[in-house]
């Protein structure tokens, strides 16, 4: 195997810290995407080294508006009185360490704790975040890069766009074309294939697999990133590591949500 192909993504551990934050601003971006900027003294020391980092966002009680932060002991994370708030994973889009401002993009679904909160969020509203606990550092200049996702993966891909430099970059996205173009903006270096909004499942994943049969994949210097609905992501991952014979170290598959619980 060529030396360049051995540059596998590597994992790093981050200190686990829980931080209260407050909304500074909310801006409509495109389609169902809203950008919310957070601030707070607790963001000092926050770090997010990877484009696909996840932080836990802990939402306040819908009735009381209260939220509870845990304590970190030698035994691990301890929630006071066993009260654990509802949480969802989000990708940090941008963090300004000098200004202490953290930016997250929310994709609003028809209903759900996170969507309902984001739809009503106003400056001054508070919640809490935890992590990222670990980061996967992915080299930015693989010659061939293939990304497959739905709307929930576009924020991570948008962040990745800021730094990647491969010569052959492809995106297959279950997203509305007009919304995706408006959201991602400058994607001149990417060959984009829009697959339709809200349709990622095993049936459409199988349709994509049939389409990908005609796609030539290199033997080295590649990276494949798959995210979105869990069962569809697993099907795609099995396809690339099985039928197409790609090394698991260079195929990153992450379930962002599951069809039954969405």
- H/E element, 191: strand 190-194
Q: What mean pLDDT is predicted for residues 46-70?
A: 90
**Cβ count near 18 (within 10 Å):** 17
Q: 163 and 104 in one domain?
A: no
DSSP states of 92-111 as a string? EEEEETTTTEEEEEEE--SS
Q: 114 and 83 in one domain?
A: yes
What is the structure's pLDDT at 84? 86
Which residues pair with residue 251 across a beta bridge? 224
Output the domain CATH number for residue 159.
3.40.50.80
What is the structure's pLDDT at 28? 97
Residue 123 lies in a domain: yes
Q: Are 233 and 226 in contact (CB under 8 A)?
A: yes
Residue 262 lies in a domain: no
> Which pLDDT band, with edges at 50, 70 and 90, does 6 fall under?
low
Q: 248 and 144 in one domain?
A: yes
Number of domains in the chain: 2
Residue 37 lies in a domain: yes
What is the structure's pLDDT at 262? 45
**Dihedral sign, Cα of residue 7, residue 9, residue 10, residue 15:** positive
Q: 236 and 216 in one domain?
A: yes
Output the domain CATH number for residue 85.
2.40.30.10
Q: 74 and 147 in one domain?
A: no
Q: 222 and 128 in one domain?
A: no
Residue 90 lies in a domain: yes
Residue 2 lies in a domain: no
> Domain ends where: 88, 109, 135?
135
> Domain ends where: 75, 109, 135?
135
Residue among 58, 67, 122 nearest 89 (CA): 58
Q: 109 and 163 in one domain?
A: no
Q: What mean pLDDT is predicted for residues 46-53?
A: 96
Top-confidence range, 30-44, 50-64, 154-168 = 30-44
pLDDT above 70: percentage of residues in the chain: 97
Q: By residue range, what is the domain housing residue 25?
A: 11-135
Residue 213 lies in a domain: yes
List, for residues 140-151, the tens digit of each pLDDT value. 999 999 999 999
Q: 124 and 152 in one domain?
A: no
* DSSP 8-class letter at 161: H
Q: 123 and 144 in one domain?
A: no
Q: 85 and 55 in one domain?
A: yes
Q: 107 and 220 in one domain?
A: no
Q: 144 and 99 in one domain?
A: no
> Domain ends where: 110, 135, 160?
135
> Which pLDDT band, with edges at 50, 70 and 90, does 1 fall under?
very low
Separation CA 137–CA 139 (nearest Å): 7
């Amino acid at each position: 195997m060529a030396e360049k192909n051995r540059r596998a993504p590597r994992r790093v551990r981050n200190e686990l810290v829980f931080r209260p934050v407050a909304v500074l601003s909310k801006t409509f971006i495109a389609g169902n995407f809203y950008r919310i900027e957070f601030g707070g003294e607790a963001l000092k020391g926050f770090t997010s080294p990877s484009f696909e980092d996840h932080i836990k966002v802990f939402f306040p009680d819908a009735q009381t508006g209260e939220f509870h932060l845990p304590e970190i002991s030698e035994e691990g994370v301890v929630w006071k009185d066993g009260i654990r708030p509802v949480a969802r994973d989000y990708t940090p889009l941008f963090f300004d360490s000098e200004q202490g401002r953290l930016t997250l993009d929310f994709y609003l679904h028809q209903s759900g704790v996170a969507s309902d909160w984001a739809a009503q969020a106003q400056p001054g509203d508070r919640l809490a975040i935890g992590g990222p606990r670990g980061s996967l550092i992915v080299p930015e200049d693989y010659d061939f890069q293939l990304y497959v996702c739905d709307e929930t993966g576009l924020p991570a891909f948008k962040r990745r766009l800021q730094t990647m430099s491969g010569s052959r970059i492809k995106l297959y996205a279950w997203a509305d074309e007009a919304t995706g173009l408006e959201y991602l903006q400058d994607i001149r270096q990417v060959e984009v294939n829009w697959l339709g909004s809200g349709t990622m499942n095993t049936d459409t994943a199988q349709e994509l697999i049939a389409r990908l049969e005609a796609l030539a994949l290199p033997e080295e210097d590649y990276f494949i990133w798959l995210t979105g609905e869990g069962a569809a992501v697993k099907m795609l991952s099995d396809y690339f590591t099985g039928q197409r014979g790609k090394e698991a170290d260079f195929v990153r598959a992450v379930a962002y949500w599951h069809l039954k619980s969405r």
